[in-house]
Chains A and B, each alone.
Chain A
Amino acid sequence: MMSLESIPIQAFLIVSSALFCIGIWGLLNSRNAVRVLMSIELMLNAVNINLMAFSSYIDNNLIQGQVFTIFVITVAAAEAAVGLAILLSLYRNRVTVDMESFNLLKW
């Protein structure tokens, strides 16, 4: 049996790919607007896992990927705050969180 020095980088990449695709599926199929925001958070986390894996395996001296992850976490926090504020104001005007009923911009 082959002995491993450490976990292969491919394992991390596959987990993050699967998480990203689950996020996309949720984004496309959710009726509830809050669940859409949760799917976006899942996708951002998948990207973060990717960045962290590369920074640990390929750039393990300068770890610029970890700095990028910090910035992505910052932007994700701002995005969540603004997204939920938009959601609340939508709910106040339409009294629903159903994605199918937000069709004001539909041609």
Chain B
Amino acid sequence: MSIAITTQIICFTILSLVILIGALGVVLLESIVYSAFLLGGVFMSVAGLYLLLNASFVAAAQVLVYVGAVNVLIIFAIMLVNKKEDLKPINDIKSRRIISTSICLTLLSLLIRVDLTNVWSLSSPENSIGEESTIRIGEHLFSDYLLPFEVASVLLLMAMIGAIVLARRDVMSKDISTGLPVDQELIEKSSEPLLTNKN
């Protein structure tokens, strides 16, 4: 990369601080809407890290897919299910918190230990293709990764159809349980939910 090393270190520090603090905000903040917007910030900073790693194509794909599609989808889902509700308190919440936090910290220490103690066999920077990575990705996708590439398109089609089937309201002329005619208006009426009286 042609940027000076000091600039790279400054950029890396800022980006990783934004990533970690943003991720903590995503899981800790009370309001789910703030979490969703912070998640967008985390995705943008991850794209910045990819730029530091000489991967402009993947950085662009990250911004397009994650910030442009996934984050917007999450915000739409929040808009559709955003209802103020008082959560029932769990009685053993404290022990649960302690156990899960200790598991996470143990895993983190193990991972960091592996990161620091392992001797990585780094390749020489002269071999690096640097800014040509987009060309190389294209070659990969149309030669040795052709089958996964095509399977991914089938997967996306299946996910699209599955999401439509799962999320749409059933359009039937008669209600199955009561036999009454169903009104086909676009605005959802408040109706008796099916499974709430359990528990």
Contacts and interface: CB of A to CB of B under 8 A. Distances in A.
Q: Do A and B bind each other?
A: yes
A52 B50 contact: yes
Given A19-B20, A22-B27, A34 B77 contact: yes
Contacts of B167: 84-85, 88-89
A85 B90 CA distance: 27
Of the candidates A38, A59, A93, the one having the most CB atoms from chain B within 10 angstroms of its own CB is A38
Interface residues of B, number: 91
Interface in A55-77: 55-64, 66-67, 69-71, 73-77
A93 to B, nearest CB: 5
Contacts of A95: 83, 193, 196
Q: Which of under 10, 10 to 19, 20 to 34, or 35 or more describes the interface residues of A? A: 35 or more
Contact of B85 (A14, A64, A86, A98): A98
A11 B12 contact: yes
Interface of A: 3-7, 9-15, 17-26, 28-32, 34-35, 37-39, 41-42, 45, 48-49, 52-53, 55-64, 66-67, 69-71, 73-82, 84-89, 91-98, 100-101, 103-104
Interface of B: 1, 5, 8-9, 12, 16, 19-20, 23-24, 26-27, 32, 35-36, 39, 42-43, 46, 49-50, 52-55, 57-58, 61-62, 65-66, 69-70, 73-74, 76-78, 80-81, 83, 85, 87-88, 90, 96-97, 100-101, 103-105, 107-108, 111-112, 115-116, 120-123, 125, 127-129, 133, 136-137, 140-141, 145, 148, 152, 155-156, 158-160, 162-164, 166-167, 169, 193-196, 198-199
12 contacts: A5-B125, A14-B112, A15-B49, A21-B111, A22-B104, A25-B27, A42-B39, A71-B145, A73-B62, A76-B65, A76-B70, A84-B163
